[in-house]
């Protein structure tokens, strides 16, 4: 299995269970970010009303930096773009620097011309949790669904906050974070005690309904999980990202160190 995984570095398409999964291996983080920014730019050029699904975390920061550069230097226009973020911590203040709301403004929204009313993030403090989840699903549907979904992956295989489990939610849901995720994400907080214990997150159904999916993976810490996903040829709710292998238009853009 590992042999198959190692050999794919030279190819850009991997046939898994009859499905064609596109794999692009880039030398480093900068070239990975550049590659995906070009993909986003091309999609925006084809469709100025694109509905983008956006992720937070360390991995997409380079992508957002490059999109900001493209906006400033090349006039890449976000004025008709609609975006939906994957997730947000429950209970966190919007202005808290660890909130995903703050992150998106800091790294992207404040530096491009996307309209405030077109940039959606799940609410951190809804009065009715179930209703907030339904409303987010309805909003996505109301905008015609996601055209291009950007994803990162957790070391445990989570996508958005869909944690490994016996079953996974289809729609937007409230998720109890696993101890692993709380620990990994504590780097964004002053102490582990400050990490919220739950989040509101798009479900697997929302993600799989996107017309096109691009997952960015960088860093040796993601090597074990990517090895499992790409070489075991299995789909399991215990590795939520493995479900992406069933999608008809998914591209994994990874850096070389993920192959080590």
Evaluated on CA atoms 20, 248, 119, 113, the torsion sign reads positive
Clarify whether 158 is annotated catalytic: yes
Judged by beta carbon, residue 17 or residue 97, the one nearer ligand F6R is 97
Q: Which of 53, 62, 122, 152 binds ligand F6R (CB under 6 A)?
A: 152
Nearest distance, CB of residue 10 and ligand F6R, angstroms:
26
Residue 209 lies near ligand F6R (rule: CB under 6 A): no
The catalytic position among 43, 71, 85, 87 is 87
Letters for 56-85 (x = contact with ligand F6R by CB under 6 A, - = none) are xxxx--------------------------
Q: Where are the alpha helices (DSSP H) in 47-115?
A: 61-74, 100-107
Residue 38 found at the interface with ligand F6R (CB under 6 A): no
Considering the complex, what minimum distance in angstroms separates the CB of residue 62 from ligand F6R? 10
51 DSSP β-pair partners:
82
The token pair that represents 131 in the structure block: 């209703």
Strand partners for 159? 162
Scan for tokens 């975390």, then name that residue: 57
Of 91-99, 124-132, 150-158, 224-232, which part binds ligand F6R (CB under 6 A)?
150-158
The answer to whether the beta carbons of residues 148 and 38 sit under 8 Å apart is: no
Q: What are phi and psi of 138, to 5 degrees?
A: -65, -40
Catalytic residue, candidates 101, 163, 206, 247? 163
Q: Indicate which residue of 35, 156, 232, 257 is catalytic.
A: 156
Write the interaction track for ligand F6R spanning residues 41-60; mark x where CB under 6 A is met and - where it is not.
Answer: --------------xxxxx-
d(CA 94, CA 150): 22
Q: Is 247 in the site for ligand F6R (CB under 6 A)?
A: no
Of 153, 134, 147, the C-alpha closest to 244 is 153
The CA-CA-CA angle for residues 132, 134, 140, to 5°, reads: 105
Q: Is residue 183 a contact point for ligand F6R (CB under 6 A)?
A: no
Q: What are the catalytic residues? A: 87, 156, 158, 163
């Amino acid at each position: 299995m590992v042999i198959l995984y190692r050999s794919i570095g030279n190819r850009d398409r991997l046939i898994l269970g009859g499905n064609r999964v596109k794999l692009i291996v880039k030398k480093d983080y900068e070239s990975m970010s550049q590659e995906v920014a070009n993909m986003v730019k091309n999609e925006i050029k084809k469709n100025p009303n694109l509905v983008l699904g956006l992720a937070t975390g360390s991995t997409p920061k380079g992508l957002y930096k490059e999109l900001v550069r493209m906006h400033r230097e090349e006039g890449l226009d976000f004025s008709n773009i609609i975006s939906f973020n994957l997730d947000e911590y429950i209970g966190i203040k919007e202005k808290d620097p660890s909130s995903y709301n703050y992150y998106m403004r800091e790294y992207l929204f404040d530096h491009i011309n996307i309209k405030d009313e077109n940039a959606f993030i799940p609410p951190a403090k809804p009065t009715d949790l179930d209703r907030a989840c339904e409303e987010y699903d309805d909003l996505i549907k109301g905008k015609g669904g996601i055209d291009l979904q950007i994803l990162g992956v957790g070391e445990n295989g989570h996508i958005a906050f869909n944690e490994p489990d016996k079953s996974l939610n289809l729609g937007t849901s409230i998720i109890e974070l696993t101890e692993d995720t709380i620990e990994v994400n504590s780097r964004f907080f002053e102490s582990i005690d400050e990490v919220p214990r739950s989040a509101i997150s798009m479900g697997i159904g929302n993600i799989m309904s996107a017309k096109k999916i691009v997952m960015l993976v960088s860093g040796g810490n993601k090597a074990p999980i990517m090895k499992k996903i790409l070489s075991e040829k299995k789909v399991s709710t215990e590795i939520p990202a493995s479900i992406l292998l069933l999608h008809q238009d998914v591209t994994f853009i990874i850096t070389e160190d993920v192959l080590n």
